Amino acid sequence: MASGNTGPNCTVSSADVMDEMSIYVNVERPSGCHSQRKRKINISENIYENVSLLTLGPNRTGTAPSGAEEVKKNSCRAAAVCLGLLCLLLLAGLITLVCIFTKSNSERETNIILLHSSYNNLTKEKDELQTRHNNLTKEKDQLQTRYNNLTKEKDQLQTRYNNLTKEKDQLQTSYNNLTEEKDELQTRHNNLTEEKDELQTRHNNLTEEKDELQTRYNNLTKEKDELQTRHNNLTKEKDQLQTRYNNLTKEKDQLQTSYNNLTKEKDQLQTRYNNLTKEKDQLQTSYNNLTEEKDELQTSYNNLTKEKD
């Protein structure tokens, strides 16, 4: 900034020196000076011719010498008055030129100072816009990293959800198989119950075959007990599977809610990202407009400096 301030001052001082030299030259050789000198020479020549005529007149005409001396005095006085008037005119011209020069020089210096102050203000505004642009770029990068992290977490949750879905399907198939086996055992149990009833009727009717039927009955009782134990075990396993299924259902609902929350947050981040992108584009356009205005001011400043030089 210091170098920028010293440069225009140096150019102004050199320009002032050049203008002063040109003024002195113009003062030494003002416009119309040659014509005025010619007029002076012609006037002096005419005066000298008149004086010579007056001095030669008495010799030719024979008039009195006192009248020629008076005419000579009058012509000298007229020449002195003319020279005085010319000097006054030259002095007045010099004074007017000096006044015009000082006025134009002061106006030019004020214009240069105003241009320099506006240039400094524009540079300050440009720096502020640059800092704001850098801050927005940093915030955009931070949002981009957060968005990438959330995307990775979403992918991980998606893989976990897929694995749980596969495990749930496997458990569903195993549960269906157990249900089919339970139904088969239920049908077998019903059949055995029917056979037991038939055997009971046969036992009541056939007392003689009691021992044989008793042994068969005992065997059937043992089988029934075994089936009962198996049925009880299947019932316990069914209950365990039911509890596990309920737990998986709860976990699935929790994962669904967390997934919905993450999608909402992702949409909010997307909207914020779009808003920041719009603001960045607006700042870019304003920055481009300011750079164009700065370039126009720079060109006008350069033109003024060239005209001043």
108 in Cβ contact with 16 (< 8 Å): no
- How many of the other CB atoms lie within 10 Å of CB of 112? 19
Say whether pLDDT at 246 is over 70: yes
For residue range 272-305, what is the model confidence (pLDDT) as tens digits? 999 999 999 999 999 999 999 999 999 998 998 8
Identify the pLDDT of residue 197: 86
What are the helix (H) ranges across the chain? 2-28, 33-61, 65-205, 210-308
pLDDT value at position 203?
65
Cβ proximity of 101 and 25 under 8 Å: no
Say if CB 180 and CB 303 are below 8 A apart.
no
Residue 141 has pLDDT above 90, yes or no: yes
In a domain, 287, yes or no: no
Q: Residue 246 falls within a domain, yes or no?
A: no
Q: What are the two backbone dihedrals, phi and then psi, of residue 206, each rounded to the nearest 5 degrees?
A: -110, 85
Give the Cα separation of 106 and 101 in Å (integer).
Answer: 9
Residue 85 resides in a domain: yes
Taking a C-beta distance cutoff of 8 angstroms, is the pair 39, 121 a contact?
A: no
Chain-centroid distance of CA 124 in Å reads 16
Residue 277: inside a domain, yes or no? no
Q: pTM score, two decimals?
A: 0.27
**What is the amino acid identity at position 101?**
F
Cα separation, 130 vs 122, whole angstroms = 12
Mean pLDDT taken over the chain: 79
Tokens representing 25 are 């030259």
In a domain, 22, yes or no: yes
Span 14-38, pLDDT tens digits:
444 344 444 443 433 444 444 444 4
Examine residue 158 and state whether it is found in any structural domain, yes or no: no
Phi, psi for residue 151 in degrees, rounded to 5? -65, -40
Q: Does any domain span residue 300?
A: no
Q: Give the confidence band of 111 by pLDDT, cuts at 50, 70, 90.
A: confident
Question: Domain tally for the chain?
Answer: 1
Q: Which residue has the tokens 């089919």?
A: 180
Q: Is 62 left (phi over 0), alpha (psi -120 to 50) or beta?
A: left
Does residue 99 belong to any structural domain of this protein? yes
Residue 107 domain boundaries: 2-121
Rg, the chain, Cα only: 61
